Amino acid sequence: MLVLASASPRRAEIMRLMGLDFAVCPASAEKNPSPELGPGEYTSESALYKAMDVAPRFGPEDTVIGADTVVEIGGLILGKPAGAGDAFRMLKLLSGRTHRVYTGFALIRGSETVTGHELTEVSFRDLSDAEIREYVATGEPMDKAGAYGIQGRGCVLVSGIAGDYFNVMGFPACRIHTELEALRRRFTDA
């Protein structure tokens, strides 16, 4: 069985698009990785903590997937906004600039663990304060790293992207597919 250790509807949607049959079992504990880590390593470690929290609830033949996403700009890490004012601050910071979206992932099957992260660069057009306030008022930014959803109304903020689109949504589909296939082959060939 494939298990998603996340309550994210976006991650589940991407897994369905990938044609995967899976169960959802969100991690119950959040452990923050060391703040000294770079954004890629930070998200990979956070994803591993989530997968490790869920894996003991399943058997050694099951594969558990954890994931975590952050936005980085100018050395600042942006997670989910704490409120409307924080969302406004984040979007103002991203306006007219290019930022990086990191999604870390962890796969656990039995005693085998695979971790990694994917990076996508996203450019925003210049945004007026009124546009930012209007977008924040929709509520869409509130549960998303960097305070925007590229797959929703936030699509009009984005002027360009370099990398995996699905990574910006929080689940690097191509990379995870490749890692799942490699893991499956290792267990099939064993």
Summarize the confidence of residues 152-178 as an average pLDDT. 97
pLDDT grade for 104, boundaries at 50, 70 and 90: very high
pLDDT tier at 64 (50, 70, 90 boundaries)? very high
DSSP annotation of 148 reads -
What's the rounded Cα separation, in Å, for the pair 67 and 74? Answer: 23
Q: Which pLDDT score is estimated for 34? A: 76
Question: For position 32, what pLDDT does the model report?
Answer: 74
Residue pair 88/134 in contact (Cβ under 8 Å)? The answer is no
Structure tokens at 26: 């969100």
What's the pLDDT tens digit per position in 4-38?
A: 999 999 999 999 999 999 999 999 877 777 778 89
d(CA 11, CA 20): 12
The topology (CATH level 3) of 2-189 is Maf protein (3.90.950)
> Which position has the token pair 């991690």?
27
Whether the predicted pLDDT of 190 surpasses 70? no
CA distances from 3 to 65, 160, 189 (A): 6, 33, 22
User: Could you list the active site residues?
Assistant: 68
**According to the model, what pLDDT value does residue 35 have?**
73
Q: Report the candidate in 43, 29, 92 with the shortest Cα–Cα distance to residue 71.
A: 43
Q: Among residues 145, 142, 153, which one has the least CA distance to residue 169?
A: 145
pLDDT at 58 over 90: yes
pTM over 0.85: yes
- Tokens for 46, please give them: 């956070």
Q: For residue 134, is pLDDT > 90?
A: yes
